[in-house]
């Protein structure tokens, strides 16, 4: 059976993440220690004990989610006696999850990935003053309708242009928009009028994956230019193109574009299915991506692997 390993993005974090893994497996403990050292920060303590509001800060949540995913990867490899990439045809990650995916297949080192994500989180937070931007999930509408709504909402009453754009195409009928707060609020109202089942403003600290993130993209272009990318042993299906990539320079460029670009998650999953993938295995915290898999295509099997019990069951299933 062809499978893909996928890695969660921001929103999947919770206090206690990774603690069971660290208690059960030395390989997981080594990952958390290496990330702590790379950041000169006791990130693992924050992950295991909280407080939640500090863990949720973008600059902490991003490396924390990557660390948990990589702990799962290293434990699977050690317990199973194989390299992760021997058991998959593709990898993919939701937003910051792309960094986890590239670290998992050793295109980027663990320490380098942790530092890049810390910088990415800080840059995204600083790109837009707090309260200026917003994001909202529009449920029950398809992409053409959402794009129309976003375009209309981008103009204020005086005809001035603001930013409002689709940020995440997560699953059929689940699209997230991002941009200036007033424009996003107008879009939520218009979505209700267009028959959305539900439209909710998301509790995020910045408007990710939209043109307002351009300053953060510049910071990441500079940071990524200094990093050595190894050729991955299998393709990453990239967020911004929904196509497989293995060429290091293209990967570098797409990670920069991803900061302001839309996460084409639904299309990415369907592209892998079209290429013969039957099983999507989510490695890390939470079960967001395995839940989306079922909504995207019922024929795709979605599995979440994040706890010692999950790892045991996954290894038995191979």
- What CATH fold (topology level) applies to the domain 3-127+212-317? Malonyl-Coenzyme A Acyl Carrier Protein; domain 2 (3.40.366)
pLDDT for 159 equals 87
Q: Does pLDDT of 151 surpass 90?
A: yes
CB 210 within 8 A of CB 163: yes
| pLDDT digits 0-9 by tens, 73-116 | 999 999 999 999 899 999 999 999 999 999 999 999 999 999 99
pLDDT at 205: 82
Q: Find the range with the poorest average confidence among 179-183, 202-206, 237-241.
A: 202-206
Output the average pLDDT for the chain. 97
Q: For residue 204, what pLDDT is reported?
A: 85
pLDDT tens by residue, 242-259: 999 999 999 999 999 999
Helix axes 308-317, 58-80, angle to 10 degrees: 40
Q: For 133-204, CATH number?
A: 3.30.70.250
Exactly one of 12, 89, 209, 290 is catalytic; which is it? 209
Segment 43-47 shows an average pLDDT of 98
Domain boundaries, the chain: 3-127+212-317, 133-204
Distances (CA, A) of 302 to 4, 50, 228: 10, 29, 32
SS3 300: coil
Of 44, 69, 89, 95, the catalytic one is 95
Active site residue 94: no
Residue 209 is among the residues annotated as catalytic for this protein: yes
DSSP letters along 100-124, please? HHHHHTTSS-HHHHHHHHHHHHHHH
In this structure, the strands spanning 133-139 and 174-180 are: antiparallel
* Fold equal for 3-127+212-317 and 133-204: no
Calculated CA dihedral for residues 130, 62, 219, 160, nearest 10 degrees? -40
**Residue 203, pLDDT score:** 84
Q: Give SS3 for 215.
A: helix
CA distance 220 to 116: 8
Q: Which long-range contacts (CB under 8 A, 24 or more apart) does 37-44 make?
A: 37/111, 38/110, 38/111, 38/112, 38/114, 38/115, 39/63, 39/114, 39/115, 39/118, 43/67, 44/18
Q: Verify cis geometry, omega within 30 degrees of 0, for the bond prior to 119.
A: no
CB neighbour list of residue 222: distance below 8 Å, 6 or more residues apart: none
pLDDT band at 157; cut points 50, 70, 90: confident
Residue 290 near residue 5 (C-beta atoms within 8 A): no
Confirm if 212 and 133 have CB atoms less than 8 A apart: yes
């Amino acid at each position: 059976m062809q499978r893909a390993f996928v890695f969660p993005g921001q929103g999947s974090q919770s206090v206690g993440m990774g603690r069971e893994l660290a208690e059960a497996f030395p390989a997981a403990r080594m990952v958390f220690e290496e990330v702590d050292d790379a950041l000169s920060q006791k990130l693992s303590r924050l992950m295991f004990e909280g407080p939640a509001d500090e863990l949720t800060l973008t600059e902490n949540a991003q490396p924390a989610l990557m660390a948990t995913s990589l702990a799962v990867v290293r434990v699977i490899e050690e317990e199973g006696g194989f390299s992760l990439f021997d058991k998959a045809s593709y990898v993919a990650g939701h937003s910051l999850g792309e960094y986890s995916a590239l670290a998992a297949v050793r295109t980027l080192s663990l320490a380098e990935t942790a530092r890049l994500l810390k910088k990415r989180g800080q840059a995204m937070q600083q790109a837009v003053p707090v309260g200026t931007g917003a994001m909202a999930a529009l449920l029950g509408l398809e992409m053409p309708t959402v794009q129309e709504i976003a375009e209309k909402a981008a103009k204020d009453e005086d005809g001035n242009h603001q930013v409002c754009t689709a940020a995440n195409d997560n699953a059929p009928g689940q699209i997230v928009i991002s941009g200036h707060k007033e424009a996003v609020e107008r879009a939520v109202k218009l979505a209700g009028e267009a028959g959305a089942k539900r439209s909710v403003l998301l509790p995020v600290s910045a408007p990710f994956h939209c043109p307002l993130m351009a300053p953060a993209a510049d910071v990441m272009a500079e940071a990524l230019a200094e990093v050595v990318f190894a050729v991955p042993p299998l393709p990453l299906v990239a967020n911004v193109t929904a196509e497989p990539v293995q060429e290091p320079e293209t990967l570098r460029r797409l990670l920069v574009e991803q900061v302001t670009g839309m996460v084409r998650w639904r299309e990415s999953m369907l592209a892998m299915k079209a290429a013969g993938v039957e099983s999507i295995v989510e490695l890390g915290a939470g079960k967001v991506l395995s839940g989306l898999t079922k909504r995207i295509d019922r024929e795709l099997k979605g599995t979440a692997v994040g706890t010692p019990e999950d790892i045991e069951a996954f290894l038995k299933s191979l």
